[in-house]
Each structure stands twice: as C-alpha cells, then as structure tokens.
Amino acid sequence: MALTVWFLFSGCGGRDAELPARYRRLKVPDGLLASAAARTRGRTLFRQHCAICHGVRGDGRGIRSEGLDPAPMDFTNPRWRESVARRRVFYWIRNGVPGTAMPAWRIFDDGETWDLVAYVLSAGQS
C-alpha cells in the first residue's frame, strides 16, 4: 500500500511541494476518493455549484463557460486526472485559482471538499 501511494504521487511531488504547509500535510483519503458514495455526494454538490461553468458532466462546457479565459478544464480528460495531485485539487477548490473565474469555496468543510475532489477525479468514468 505504501509503495502504491508513493508510486501514485511521486510524479506530482513538485506540485504538492509548492502548496502551503497546511495543505502539504493533508492526509489524502484514498479510500474515500475511490468510493461510489463520495463520488455521488460530490456529484450532487458539483451539479448545484460548479456545473454552471464546468458543465453537468465536468467536461468544461457549462452555460457560463463561454468567454471565460482561461476556459474551465475538461475533467473528463484522463490526462488531467492522471497528472493532477490530489491535494492540489483540494487546494484549488478551497482557495480558487487566481487570475481565473474560479472562486474560493470556503462554504464546504473538508469532507465535502474531498467529496468534490472524488467526483471531479472520476468525471467521465461513469
């Protein structure tokens, strides 16, 4: 298990390393991220709060996405899912992405934020 985790995240070390210490130390809940229940909870929140820009399926084609520069990411692209660090996704949702239309989502607690991470990392797979 430890080896698997090391293998999964070794490629993303640089990007985790740039995060503020509090986020670098976050324990990534691998079991939760893989669970259907978390993905379903995340999908419900995503449809309420995020789909307007990111699209109902997370493909970046929400009704408010037109004209956004940069445009919302296509979360259904496996290359995005495979290359992105989990803590990074958590950090972006909590704090927003400077210089883009992506706001900070402080209204969600850690559990809800991880549910959203679980959903965006599985978008397009089910």
Residues 88 and 120: their CA atoms lie apart, in Å, by 12
CA 81 to chain centroid: 9
- Complex with ligand HEC: residue 12 or 35, whichever CB lies closer: 12
Q: Nearest approach, Cβ of 36 to ligand HEC (angstroms)? A: 18
11 touches ligand HEC by CB under 6 A: no
Site string for ligand HEC, 46-85 (x = CB under 6 A): x--xx-xxx---------x---x-x-xx----------x-
38 touches ligand HEC by CB under 6 A: no
Residues 93 and 72: their CA atoms lie apart, in Å, by 13
Single-letter code of the amino acid located at 12: C
Burial class (CB in 10 A: 0-12, 13-18, 19+), 3: exposed
101 touches ligand HEC by CB under 6 A: yes
Single-letter code of the amino acid located at 98: P
The residue ranges that bind ligand HEC (CB under 6 A) are: 46, 49-50, 52-54, 64, 68, 70, 72-73, 84, 89, 92-93, 97, 100-102, 105, 116, 120
